[in-house]
Amino acid sequence: MKRILILGKQSRLAVAIYVMLTRETDWKVYFDLDSLDSEKVTDTGQYYPIVYEKKDLRKVVMEYDPDYIVNCLSFDVPEIAEVDKKFAWDYNVGNIEAISKAAMMTDSKLLMFSTDNIYSGINGPYGEDHLPEPVNYYGKTKLGSENHCISNNVPFISVRLPEYYGGTGSNAFNIYYKLINNIEQNLAVNCFTTPVYIDDAALAVLKIILKDKFGFYNLGGPDYVSEYEYGVKLADVLGFEKESIKPYTYSNSKNECRKLIRGGLINIKSETDLNMKFVNLHSGLSSVKFLENLKF
């Protein structure tokens, strides 16, 4: 029986994976460490996750002695990463350094999450064979995490994700999260992505573990839409007001975090290797709406 340790309890992704694994398998699945266990808050109300001591991270892993470590401890706010580079690097790369060392000591496999921000965003969507060329510091930290595992011969899987939707938990940068919490956001009409349903991402994790895969897997939904089109679609299907969504045309400024013009990820390898069929945006959002209605 497999033993799976998921790190990052408040992450939407962690919750979805936990639900998927406990529903579909008889594995021992454990949750530990809180992705938002912090009292530090920015001027905009954004919580900083706590940077755990490396020895504490290693201790947690060694106590559970898992077959797989699924790391959902991640700092995913590109705008803050751009101005607080040390924090972003310490969190995204430092955590992986500690967790990967513990994985080697316990003979565990490490599954972590990356992003389409490791690419240039000029000619997306991107497959696994495209060379990384991050244009913002957040992307550099995620690429740094992958490179650490490669250079240290860590048995790892990196699941690269674009914008995702659905689930319960927290991800304050996520467009879906902001919409359902009625947080005003400016969405670009000229920046494109491939939104993926969070349950598809969780299912991919399950299949990666079942098939004992290694390396890189890019996940992305079949729709290629602008940020603004995506936000409007979210509001239309889920029944939210659109007043909180403001369209604008992105033009890079030296004073802001660079965005991907043509981002997003190609899922052909995942569909082939993992026998996946990713749901389109309308079907995925309809499932989200149905599940939300069951709560009331």
Answer for the pair 257, 188: CB distance below 8 angstroms, yes or no: no
pLDDT tens, residue by residue, 230-268? 999 999 999 998 999 999 999 987 667 899 999 999 999
Cα 18 to Cα 8, 105, 175, 241, 290: the distances in Å are: 11, 24, 22, 31, 20
Answer for the pair 59, 236: CB distance below 8 angstroms, yes or no: no
pLDDT tens, residue by residue, 180-221? 888 899 999 999 999 999 999 999 999 999 999 999 999 999
φ, ψ (nearest 5 deg) of residue 262:
-120, 85
Return the biggest CA–CA distance within the chain. 52
Confidence of residue 291 (pLDDT cuts 50, 70, 90): confident
pLDDT for position 177: 83
pLDDT tens, residue by residue, 126-146? 999 999 999 999 999 999 999
Answer for the pair 33, 60: CB distance below 8 angstroms, yes or no: yes
Type of residue found at 91:
Y
pLDDT for position 43: 56
Q: Where are the alpha helices (DSSP H) in 155-246?
A: 175-180, 198-210, 227-238
Q: Which helix (H) or strand (E) holds 285?
A: helix 281-293
pLDDT tens, residue by residue, 73-84? 999 989 889 989
Work out whether the CA dihedral 10, 206, 115, 237 comes out positive or negative: negative
Residues in a beta bridge with 69 = 5, 110
pLDDT for position 41: 54
166 pLDDT higher than 90: yes
pLDDT for position 294: 47
pTM for the model stands at: 0.94
pLDDT tens, residue by residue, 93-123? 999 999 999 999 999 999 999 999 999 999 9
Burial of 111 per CB tally in 10 Å (0-12, 13-18, 19+):
buried
φ, ψ (nearest 5 deg) of residue 291:
-65, -35
pLDDT tens, residue by residue, 19-68? 999 999 999 999 999 766 555 555 555 667 888 899 999 999 999 999 99
